[in-house]
């Protein structure tokens, strides 16, 4: 009777670990999507800054060569757009957010892979399942401390 209770207890612990692993996998997917979003925003803002700088400098050089005020206005507008985009991009720190989300995604994937490999071992005891649960909780806590959300 005691062995049946022990086996049932082990089964419940294993199911709890698998449930947590499924949640980890979902969090990992979410962080991967966020990292892609922040990467696109970072690349887009950098492209806009570079384009605005190129247009601004070209327009200013054209103004010097032709003494026409229109390229001066265009160049000033482009340089203003570049400055505003650069300040906004720096303030929102898209690249930092991208790196944090990517790191969180990688850490969660590593944890998932590590625990699943431990579960492949046959005849784990109840105490070993407890150790796995404690280790998972500790690692998840460390990952969450360094993540954005």
pLDDT at residue 2, as a whole number: 67
pLDDT at residue 72, as a whole number: 87
pLDDT in tens, 54-108: 999 998 888 888 888 888 889 999 999 999 999 999 999 999 999 999 999 999 9
Q: What is the pTM of this model?
A: 0.82
Q: Is the pLDDT of residue 15 over 80?
A: yes
Q: Which two tokens stand for residue 8?
A: 């049932």
pLDDT in tens, 28-37: 999 999 999 9
Q: Is the pLDDT of residue 109 over 80?
A: yes
Buried b (16+ CB within 10 A) or exposed e, 102-139: bebbebbbebbeebeebeeeeebeeeebeebeeebeeb
State the average pLDDT for the chain.
91
Rounded Cα distance between 115 and 113, Å, is: 6
| pLDDT band, residue 149 (cuts 50/70/90) | low
């Amino acid at each position: 009777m005691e062995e049946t209770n022990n086996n049932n207890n082990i089964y419940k612990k294993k199911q709890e670990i698998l449930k947590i692993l499924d949640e980890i996998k979902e969090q990992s997917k979410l962080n991967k999507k966020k990292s892609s979003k922040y990467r696109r925003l970072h690349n887009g803002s950098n492209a806009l800054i570079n384009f605005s700088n190129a247009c601004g400098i070209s327009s200013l050089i054209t103004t010097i060569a032709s003494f026409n005020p229109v390229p001066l206005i265009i160049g000033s507008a482009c340089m203003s757009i570049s400055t505003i985009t650069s300040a906004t991009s720096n303030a929102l720190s898209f690249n930092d957010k991208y790196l944090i989300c990517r790191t969180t995604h990688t850490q969660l994937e590593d944890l998932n892979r590590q625990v699943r490999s431990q579960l492949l071992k046959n005849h784990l005891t109840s105490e070993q399942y407890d150790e796995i649960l404690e280790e998972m909780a500790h690692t998840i806590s460390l990952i969450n401390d360094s993540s954005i959300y």
